[in-house]
Amino acid sequence: MPEQLSAELLTALETIAGADHLLIALDFDGTMSPLVPHAADARPLPGSATALSALGQLPETTTALVSGRALDSLRAVATPDPETLLIGSHGAETWTGPDGAPLTLTKQQSDLLRRATDAVQRVVDAHAGTVLETKPAGVVLHTRTAADDVAAAATHAARTALDQLEGAHITDGKRVLETSVISADKGQGVRSLRKYTGATAVFFAGDDVTDEHAFAALEAQDLGIKIGDGPTQAHHRIGSPQELVAVLEHLLVLRGAGAQI
């Protein structure tokens, strides 16, 4: 057994490994991948990618990524298996297969997105080191590559401007401020995946404050793991994405053994 995992977590993994249909849903940045200054440089740790792929091949086991990234960005950095379901843009985008309907915005939402993007662009133009990212239903202010005082000023300026846009939904993350024209969060994403797959239990791991919506959506038979520091509703905590490798590998052993019985 992995020595770095607590006895309580090992027991929880053994329990959830026996679920009739297990949904394994993971955040990406800070969870499968260590956090990096530039989002495009993120890659999953090889051990996590290999274990998640192998878990997805087991009977009655569904894998999914639940991320704040837009789906195109998530695919580019995570290179998920075709069987892996995807939730992007904090639940605003969903991919359950090639027959799924693409995200479409109303004219009102498109106009709101344009105004939100213009507001964040003005902030980025005035604050060195900040970056704007566009998504199909939102716009993001990234401040990870800015000095701390500049990041704080930029975040305040962006929030002040975006608060004036009726219908804009603002979400805080780790050195990011995201605005969406669709009301969605990772909790909604987890609930929709549970319903779609018919899962009898859900395993979810994440590191960011936005993942708390997903932890809140978990039920008594589920297992949530928070990665890193900070308040959380998760059942268990580990220290880093590297420790998640051990968690996934152990879950693979447990569930694989059950599949062979």
Q: Identify the three-state secondary structure at position 132.
A: strand
Residues 156, 190 within the same domain: no
Residues 176, 188 within the same domain: no
Give the closest residue to 213 by CA, choosing from 239, 196, 231, 190. Answer: 190
Q: How far apart are CA 151 and CA 148, in angstroms?
A: 5
- CATH number of the domain that residue 252 is part of: 3.40.50.1000
Give 227-245 pLDDT, tens digit per residue: 999 999 999 999 999 999 9
- CATH number of the domain that residue 123 is part of: 3.30.70.1020
Give 61-73 pLDDT, tens digit per residue: 999 999 999 999 9
Q: What is the mean pLDDT of residues 84-88?
A: 96
Residues 94, 193 within the same domain: yes
Q: What is the count of structural domains for the chain?
A: 2
Domain's final residue, options 129, 162, 180:
180
Residue 46 lies in a domain: yes
Mean residue pLDDT of the chain comes to 94
**217 to 56, 97, 178, 188, 194: CA distances (angstroms):** 22, 23, 21, 8, 10
Residues 97, 37 within the same domain: yes
Domain span including residue 47: 7-102+184-260
Query: What is the share, in percent, of the chain residues with pLDDT greater than 90?
Result: 88
Query: What is the share, in percent, of the chain residues with pLDDT greater than 70?
Result: 98
Q: How far apart are CA 251 and CA 247, in angstroms?
A: 6
Entry pTM: 0.85
Other C-beta atoms closer than 10 Å to the C-beta of 176 total 21
Residues 90, 191 within the same domain: yes
Dig out the tokens for 35 from the structure.
Answer: 């956090």
- pLDDT value, residue 16: 98
Residue 71 lies in a domain: yes
- pLDDT value, residue 259: 66
Domain's final residue, options 158, 180, 202:
180
Sign of CA dihedral 173, 178, 179, 181: negative
Residue type at position 24: I
CA 72 to chain centre: 14
- pLDDT value, residue 158: 98
- pLDDT value, residue 109: 95
- pLDDT value, residue 4: 81
Angle subtended at Cα 206 by Cα 46 and Cα 144, rounded to the nearest 5 degrees: 85
Give 22-46 pLDDT, tens digit per residue: 999 999 999 999 999 888 999 999 9
